[in-house]
Amino acid sequence: MKIRFNTSLVTLAVATSLFAFNAMADINDGPNPRSVAPASLTPTQGAVFCTAAINADGTNAQKAAGSTVLSTTHLGTGNYEVLFRAPCGNITAANGFARFVQTDTLTTGTTNGHCSTADRAGHVNGVFINCVDVAGAPADNSFFLFVTR
């Protein structure tokens, strides 16, 4: 049995994937390391300092009273920025903070996909969130965000 590939489609798929990857990398304006220097991060303590419930359109789903969320921004498909106020003033990984994100409908039903977090370039009190669907394509998703130390 011979398998034939349509080279035009394969080339288009690879080019589209590379374009999407480069476009996502540019959104957070920084290097994309897979690891950091050993022993360079401050230890975390396991306490949750700030939380956010973010809708798929990037709006804050939490009530304003008592919220530590300063602002939220939907940067593009699947990309978000969440900025916090005290006690989350310098929440970079190097400063010992960990960020956990969990996709959630924030209501009933199910959600497909997952999100990851990173320091927000240019904002030490912010978190960059990137969400993708099960195929790995950028996708808007609602989620919970936890900042711990």
Distance between alpha carbon 38 and the CA centroid of its chain, in Å? 24
In a domain, 31, yes or no: no
Query: pLDDT for 71-83, tens place per residue?
Result: 999 999 999 999 9
15 domain residue, yes or no: no
CB neighbour class for 53 (10 Å; exposed up to 12, middle 13-18, buried from 19): middle
What does the DSSP 8-state code read for residue 137?
-
18 in any annotated domain: no
Q: What is the pLDDT of residue 20?
A: 42
pTM > 0.85: yes or no: no
**What's the distance, CA 123 to chain centroid?**
14
Distance, in Å, from the CA atom of 58 to the CA atom of 9, rounded to the nearest integer, reads 34
User: Residue 125 falls within a domain, yes or no?
Assistant: yes
Q: Is residue 10 part of a domain?
A: no
Is the pLDDT score of 51 beyond 90?
yes
pLDDT of residue 34: 62
Local structure of residue 26 (DSSP, 8 states): H
Q: Does residue 119 register a pLDDT over 80? A: yes
Characterize the bridge pairing of strands 114-120 and 123-132. Answer: antiparallel
Residue 128 inside a domain? The answer is: yes
Does residue 6 lie within any of the structural domains?
A: no
> How many domains is the chain partitioned into structurally?
1
Question: Which residues constitute the domain of residue 111?
Answer: 44-148
Residue 85 belongs to some domain of the structure: yes
